[in-house]
Amino acid sequence: MLKNMSSFFVRTLREDPADAEVTSHKLLVRAGYIRRTAPGIYTWLPLGLQVLKRIEKVVREEMDAVGAQEVHFPALLPAEPYQKTNRWEEYGPTLFKLRDRKAADYLLAPTHEEMFTLLVKDMYSSYKDLPVTLYQIQTKYRDEARPRAGLIRGREFVMKDAYSFDIDQEGLNTSYDLQRQAYQRIFERLGLEYVICSAMSGAMGGSRSEEFLHPCEIGEDTFVRSPGGYAANAEAVTTPVPAPVDATNVPAFSVHETPGAKTMEALVEYSNEHYPRAEGDWTAANMLKSVVVALTHPDGEREVMVIAIPGDREVDMKRVEAAVSPAEVEMASAADFENHPELVAGYLGPQACGPNSPLRTVDEDGKISGSVRLLVDPRVVEGTSWIAGGNEVDKHVYNLVMGRDFTADGTIEAAEIREGDPAPDGSGPLELARGIEIGHIFQLGKKYAEALDLKVLDQNGKTQVVTMGSYGVGVSRVLAALAESCNDENGLAWPMILAPFHLQVLATGKGEELFETAGSIAKAVSDAGFDVLYDDRPKVSAGVKFADAELLGMPYVLVVGRGLKDGVVELRDRRNGTAVELPVAEASAEILRVLEENRESNR
Amino acid sequence: MLKNMSSFFVRTLREDPADAEVTSHKLLVRAGYIRRTAPGIYTWLPLGLQVLKRIEKVVREEMDAVGAQEVHFPALLPAEPYQKTNRWEEYGPTLFKLRDRKAADYLLAPTHEEMFTLLVKDMYSSYKDLPVTLYQIQTKYRDEARPRAGLIRGREFVMKDAYSFDIDQEGLNTSYDLQRQAYQRIFERLGLEYVICSAMSGAMGGSRSEEFLHPCEIGEDTFVRSPGGYAANAEAVTTPVPAPVDATNVPAFSVHETPGAKTMEALVEYSNEHYPRAEGDWTAANMLKSVVVALTHPDGEREVMVIAIPGDREVDMKRVEAAVSPAEVEMASAADFENHPELVAGYLGPQACGPNSPLRTVDEDGKISGSVRLLVDPRVVEGTSWIAGGNEVDKHVYNLVMGRDFTADGTIEAAEIREGDPAPDGSGPLELARGIEIGHIFQLGKKYAEALDLKVLDQNGKTQVVTMGSYGVGVSRVLAALAESCNDENGLAWPMILAPFHLQVLATGKGEELFETAGSIAKAVSDAGFDVLYDDRPKVSAGVKFADAELLGMPYVLVVGRGLKDGVVELRDRRNGTAVELPVAEASAEILRVLEENRESNR
């Protein structure tokens, strides 16, 4: 493919777009790869579309290599299957819903578990038909509350989603591993660094789940890793539970005045001053911090709940969100506090909520009411002693012992993970990092097959519910993640495997001969099967051509300019900044040698 | 590519699906190419997706060959640009509309004129940037009132849409011709018969417009052609207007009793019996038939209107629809008649409506009211004399002369076109045929550029509104049209250029050697770059394998069966039904020779 810059549909911008915060977004817009159409919705210009196709090709090849078969579902889907699995409700406002002219409910699919399940149910009926893994590369829709970072969190985006169908768990393990290996090969071929993290499966249901994260400062996901090789999404990290503590010698709890000690810092200071203890200074770790949140359950019910964690940690709302999914969570509102006068803001302690509250009643069916639920951090084990709110303004309780003076309705992974926390598998202290989620693989198990009645006959002629896996790559997000790592201060810098053009030829100078030479080299390289962009613009300065080439980021740039009178042209390597002079007569051959050598390169 | 049938995601059906009326729909479902997901919404299975990709490849190559550049727009679009051009309203219920979580209006794009216009406006500013033609292959959405015939009229479908941008009409003519030629090459390469018909541009606006129709009995479009080469969509045919008639000798009109003559037939019979004339028998051609219709204008206003045509013709509502677009039209309802007591059903004549009605008033601004509008067929010229309704039950008016006794608010192309009608260009009598619209090209002119303010500086430094063209191929519909012509009573029968697999190898028999032979030929052909489907199912009878192969429709079928003991295999040509025996040792080489020879064949 050979394109002339003079007629190629691209315009570069010298300024960053006003709405762009991250490098990939800025550069992809400035270099004319994409344009914003609406919040979180982008148009692919010729350059961007070409990179997207290159990524799709790699994804497709690796899917085909593990025997996954490609199909293509509609994006516009009837509501019914999603109602059966309850996701019509669970997705909440993230689901784009609409009605057709007959007032039938439809949605724009955020993911396709239901449809693949129904398709296999339609086509297959026996264990002999299994295993099968199907995939598509398709446009997905999610009405994100906060679309951001260009292609990284969009509302319309391209995704590869695959689904495996097996007769049993052993089969699912094999299918899952095949996809996992395919993902490793995809990201390796693309040159995209990744970490495989244990993950929570959230609204997807199911058991085993791992995320492929691209480590990157601007990533939305926090993950952890240990020297021993443990890696997990922050949401999925479980806190090692300490052994119970012997509280025999802890004095009975007592309520004390703590005037004005509304903050953790003030309470620690006040306690050390007025109620010092022999074992050493009180610290925030001795305080029990009670946080009031409000859940919105899929059925719309709002539930106020108290979370109690050690006072030296903050509540991580993303971890809470994952823990309570599919319910949504936010901090309790003023109205919530008005509805619950027993929850005294700033002085709340565990005795005013949970099982210990005098308001608590449990009916015959085990349904609790009267007092809100209290969930505690796993570190709040039997026998631990705390300073907690006294449930009255300016009062706190000292020596309040878990299991003796209060109990909880359960535990919750709500506290932030800290650098240096122990890995749950004992593999050492955790290090925190940020990343972009580029892939996610799930063992769904039987959730969808049960909801939609996907059964086949097994070897004994009995019906068996099929076991499923679900595997996604955010294709357009991968492009953004790659742009995030393939750039320097002058613009994009693509490796060969991704670049929309392998070579950009610049005619920097005047005269028919110069343009003829540049044009004929461009044509020769293109004729040999490489993609070439020839900057043939007649009245554009060398400086502008150089700057545009750096911004556009093709891996090799050939400059046909001043040197031509001495019979040489210059081949530049965009990524390492090196340049070599080539005699004109040998230029095409030498360029072809270099391109051929690096054809699949991802460096 | 080599796929084994034992694990390939396909299941054939022996019975036609209940909802399928046309051959392509029946066969594509039965052979496992597509599945219905919702009315007018289909899922592509591996076989169907492969054919779709083959068509897309041809379309892409021919677009690239004429210099069109590929981009990709979102399907989910903000309402605003479509509001500016008024299509947000004009599309009516055919437009899928929805709101996002912030209650902003969005649509699923039925076509993208607005977005391409805005993109070029964003990127370009000078006549030097032009011409440019951009295209995409993309999913489109139209909430059809009556989705039908499988992929032929769907609600979610794949379309190639291209848009040209020129500084002047001369440029537009060139861009239009390039697309027109590309379309001819696309359909020729695919082997899809087509007729280029003059068309009305309907809701698209603009001037020149042609449709590419595939002649086909099940097509929804009626078109006409003349021996002299005229071809047009029935909606676009204009009636040659006869010269005015001298009505000097026509007696004054008179009202007569015509008891019970409510139908055209009864009126002709009654007239000949009771009011015979010297010039010969009355025929239906002497009667003026008045039909009451109701328009719904884009602003929602309902307008009752009378159409009068010669009594020997029927009103063609599709022609009316095209003539009144963007208004929608239907027959008047009982309520409409109640609102207009002056319109006496069955006895309506032109004196009760239009400019001649005593109810008619015209205000200072020329706005008419009081009586509904009367539009007449172009054949109802000055001086023509008619028997028309008397506007009272059981009464008709005789010798009612146009221009003398009544006038109209205008003419309308409402009457059906008949076999033998004269072509408007004088090229002979028209022949009627049906076809499937597979492509449509429009000269849009400045409509969209004006509405969205797309201007560039011209050579004199003045701003000029850009002139546009719009060009569409219904890619998924083309697939259906091809399936409609590539089949016989046993199933599909694809040419090489379209077939999902070039060769299907059948192992029909038992024994390791037979499967080994079949498998190794399949592999050899696949290794040489062809796509092979190997029916390796161990316990499936030869009869079922033959039937499946015929239904699936690959162009060549190799049977490795009974003949193997004599050292021969059989190569069948699916389309002409011939078969040749090949010695096993030479089979791969001979098959490769045949496939190579026919690689791009569309026969």
CATH of the domain at B288: 3.90.960.10
Answer whether B75 sits within 8 Å of A156, measured CB to CB. yes
Q: How far is CA B585 from CA A522, A537, B507, B558, in A?
A: 46, 59, 16, 14
Residues in chain B closer than 8 A to A49 (CB atoms): 70-72
What confidence tier does A236 reach under pLDDT thresholds 50, 70, 90? confident
**Does residue A470 sit in the same domain as residue A565?**
no
Test A75 with B8 for CB contact under 8 angstroms. Answer: no
Whole-number Å distance between alpha carbons of A570 and B346: 87
Question: Which of A80-84, A482-486, B259-263 comes out lowest in average pLDDT?
Answer: B259-263
For A162, the 3-state DSSP assignment is strand
Phi, psi (deg, nearest 5) at residue A591: -60, -45
Judgement on whether residues A402 and A437 belong to the same structural domain of the protein: no
φ, ψ of residue A66 in degrees (nearest 5): -100, 15
Q: Report the CATH number at residue A197.
A: 3.30.930.10
Closest CB to B70 among A49, A93, A141: A49
Q: What is the pLDDT of residue A261?
A: 84
Cα–Cα distances in angstroms (integers) from residue B462 to residues A136, B96, B465, in the given order: 49, 40, 10
What is the rounded distance in angstroms from the CA atom of residue A355 to the CA atom of residue A373? 8
A67 touches chain B (CB under 8 A): yes
Does the structure show a pLDDT above 50 at A566? yes
**3-state SS class at B357:** coil
pLDDT above 90 covers a percentage of chain B that reads: 82
* Nearest chain B residue to A78, by CA: B38
CB contact under 8 A, A38 and B119: no
The per-residue pLDDT for B201 is: 52
The average pLDDT across B232-242 equals 88
Instruction: Look at residue B316 in the predicted model and tell me its pLDDT.
Output: 94
Rounded-to-5 percentages of helix, strand, coil across chain B: 30, 30, 40
* Shortest Cα distance, chain A CAs vs residue B55, angstroms: 15
**Cα distance from B243 to chain A (closest Cα, Å)?**
47
Closest CA relative to residue A379, chosen from A240, A234, A232: A240
The C-alpha atoms of residue A179 and residue B261 are separated, in whole angstroms, by 77
Within 8 A by CB and 6+ apart from B568, the residues are B581, B582, B583, B584
Judge whether residue A204 has pLDDT over 60. Answer: no
- Quick check: is A182 in a domain? yes
Main-chain dihedrals φ then ψ at residue B335, nearest 5 degrees: -65, -40
| 3-class SS of residue B137 | strand
**Domains in chain B, number:** 3
**Chain A residue numbers touching B155 (CB-CB < 8 A):** 76, 100
- How far is residue A295 CA from its own chain's centroid? 23
A46 in contact with chain B, both atoms CB, cutoff 8 A: yes
Tell me, yes or no, whether B404 and B446 share the same domain: no
Beta strand pairing status for B503-507 and B556-560?
A: parallel
Tell me the shortest Cα–Cα distance from A302 to chain B, in angstroms.
20
Q: How far apart are CA A58 and CA B578, in angstroms?
A: 40
For chain A, what's the residue count?
Answer: 603
Q: Rounded distance, CA B435 to CA B444, Å?
A: 24
Q: Which pLDDT belongs to residue B473?
A: 98
A323-361, pLDDT tens digit by residue? 998 788 999 999 999 999 999 988 999 999 999 888 888
How far apart are alpha carbons B42 and B58 in whole angstroms?
A: 22
CA distances from residue A348 to A287, A377, A393, A398, A441 in whole angstroms, order as listed? 12, 16, 9, 13, 41
Which structure tokens are listed for B259?
A: 């008891």
Element (H, E) at A464: strand A463-465
The confidence score (pLDDT) of residue B145 equals 86
Query: Which chain B residues are within 8 Å of A143, Cβ to Cβ?
Result: 100-101
* pLDDT over threshold 70, residue B339: yes
DSSP-assigned beta bridge partners for residue A431: A225
Q: Do A46 and B70 touch (CB under 8 A)?
A: yes
Q: How far apart are CA B567 and CA A433, in angstroms?
A: 66
Given a cut of 80, whether residue A202 has pLDDT beyond it is no
Q: Which of A319-323, A519-523, B409-413 has the highest mean pLDDT?
A: A519-523
Say whether B335 sits in a helix, a strand or coil.
helix
B57 Cβ under 8 Å from any chain A Cβ: no
A9 vs B37, B134, B141: nearest CB: B134
Interface contact A580, partner B, CB < 8 A: no
In the numeric block, which tokens belong to residue B203? Answer: 């809701």
CA distance B156 to chain A (A): 7
> Considering B361, B379, B411, which residue would you say is the last residue of a domain?
B411
Cα torsion B339, B341, B342, B343 to 10°: value is 80
Distance CA A121, CA A132 (A): 12
pLDDT higher than 50, residue B303: yes
Distance from C-alpha of A36 to C-alpha of A154, rounded to nearest angstrom: 10
Distance from the A43 Cα atom to the nearest Cα atom in chain B, whole angstroms: 5
Do A439 and A358 fall within a single domain? Answer: no
Mutate to test the interface with B, among A11, A72, A134, A151 (most CBs of B within 10 A): A72
Q: How far is CA B406 from the centre of its chain?
A: 38
CA quadruple A398, A403, A408, A412: dihedral positive or negative? positive
For residues B310 and B403, membership in a common domain is answered with yes
Rounded mean pLDDT of A2-15?
Answer: 96
d(CA B241, CA B572): 58
Q: What are phi and psi of B272, to 5 degrees?
A: -65, -35
Residue A465 and residue A396 in one domain: no
Cβ–Cβ of A155/B100 closer than 8 Å? yes
| Residue B326: per-residue pLDDT | 78
Whether A537 is covered by a domain: the verdict is yes
Length of chain B: 603
Q: What is the DSSP string of A51-101?
A: HHHHHHHHHHHHHHHTT-EE-B--SEEESHHHHHTTHHHHTGGGSEEEE-T
Instruction: Write the residue in A49, A76, A77 that is nearest to B71 by C-beta.
Output: A49
pLDDT at A208: 85
> Mean of the pLDDT values across residues A460-465?
95
Tell me which residue has tokens 């009367």.
B374
H/E element, B559:
strand B556-560
| Residue A322 in domain | yes
- Domain membership of residue A219 (yes or no) is yes
The C-alpha of B591 sits at a distance from chain A's nearest C-alpha, in angstroms, of: 25
Query: Is residue B307 within 8 Å of B290, Cβ to Cβ?
Result: yes
Please indicate whether, in this complex, the C-beta atoms of B43 and A67 are within 8 angstroms of each other: no
Is A42 an 8 Å CB contact of chain B?
Answer: yes
Q: What angle do CA B508, B510, B512 make, to 5 degrees?
A: 115
Residue pair A391/A352 in contact by the 8 Å Cβ criterion:
yes
Distance CA A179, CA A166 (A): 14
Kindly state whether residue B37 falls inside one of the protein's structural domains. no
Strands (E), B332-419: 361-362, 368-369, 373-376, 385-389, 395-401, 410-411
Interchain contact, A11 vs B124, CB within 8 Å: yes
Instruction: State how far the Cα of A440 lies from the Cα of A471, in Å rounded to an integer.
Output: 6
Separation between Cα atoms, residue A461 and residue A126, nearest integer Å? 9
| Nearest partner of B151 among B586, B478, B570, judged by Cα | B478
**Which of B147, B93, B138, B79 lies closest to B111, judged by CA?**
B138
Q: Is residue B201, in this structure, part of any structural domain at all?
A: yes
Q: Domain check: are B280 and B395 in the same one?
A: yes
- Per-residue pLDDT for A211 more than 50? yes
Residue B66 confidence (pLDDT) above 90: yes
What mean pLDDT value characterizes chain B? Answer: 93
With beta carbons less than 8 A apart as the criterion, state whether B268 and B287 touch.
yes
Helix/strand/coil (H, E, C) string of B157-196? EEEEEEEEEECCHHHHHHHHHHHHHHHHHHHHHHCCCCEE
- Res. B200: pLDDT tops 90: no
Q: Would residue B191 count as lying in a domain?
A: yes
Percent helix, percent strand, percent coil in chain A, to nearest 5? 30, 30, 40
Number of H helices, E strands in chain B: 14, 34
How much is the pLDDT for B203?
Answer: 44
Contact yes or no for A206/A444 (Cβ under 8 A): yes
The answer to whether A8 faces chain B, any CB pair under 8 Å, is yes
Given a cut of 90, is residue B175 above it in pLDDT? yes
Q: How many CB pairs under 8 A join A and B?
A: 133
Residues A192 and A297 in one domain: no
- Beta carbons within 8 Å of A178's beta carbon, 6+ residues apart: A66, A67, A133
DSSP B77-120: EESHHHHHTTHHHHTGGGSEEEE-TT--EEEE-S--HHHHHHHH
Please check whether residues A453 and A534 belong to one and the same domain: no
Put simply, the chain A residues between 73 and 102 with a CB less than 8 A from any chain B CB are 73-78, 93-94, 96-98, 100-101
Nearest by CB to B74, which of A8, A37, A143?
A: A37
Residue B205 has pLDDT above 70, yes or no: no
Residues A392 and A264 placed together within one structural domain of the fold? yes
Interface residue B114 vs chain A (CB under 8 A): no
* Bridge-based pairing state of the strands A503-507 and A195-198: unpaired
Residues of B in contact with A9 (CB under 8 A): 69, 71, 123, 132, 134
- Residue B11 and residue A124: Cβ atoms within 8 Å? yes
The secondary structure of B245-278 as a DSSP string is ---TTSPPPEEEE-TT--SHHHHHHHHHHHS--T
In angstroms, the separation between the Cα of residue B64 and the nearest Cα of chain A is 10
Res. A478: pLDDT tops 60: yes
Instruction: Determine, for residues B98 and A97 on separate chains, whether the beta-carbon distance falls below 8 Å.
Output: yes
Region A1-6 average pLDDT: 96
User: Is the domain of A474 the same as that of A496?
Assistant: no
Specify if B82 maps to a domain. no
Work out the minimum CA distance from A424 to partner chain B, whole angstroms. 39
CA distance B567 to A488: 65
- Alpha-carbon separation of residue A19 from A49, A196, A218, A526, B81 (angstroms): 21, 31, 15, 37, 20
Q: Residue A546 maps to which CATH number?
A: 3.40.50.800
What's the domain range around B222? 49-74+110-237+431-484
A201 pLDDT tier (thresholds 50, 70, 90): low
Cα–Cα dist A533/A9, whole Å: 12
Which of left, alpha, beta for A420 (phi over 0: left; psi -120 to 50: alpha)? left
Element (H, E) at B223: strand B221-225
Q: Report ipTM for this prediction.
A: 0.87
The single-letter code of the amino acid at B459 is Q
**How far apart (Å, rounded) are the C-alpha atoms in residues B7 and B5?**
5
CA A412 to chain centroid: 22
* Cβ contact, residue pair B43, A74, below 8 Å: yes
Q: Which of residues 117-136 of A touch B (CB under 8 A)?
A: 119, 122-124, 132, 134
Map tokens 């985006």 to a residue: A157
Within this chain, do residues B326 and B403 fall inside the same structural domain, yes or no?
yes
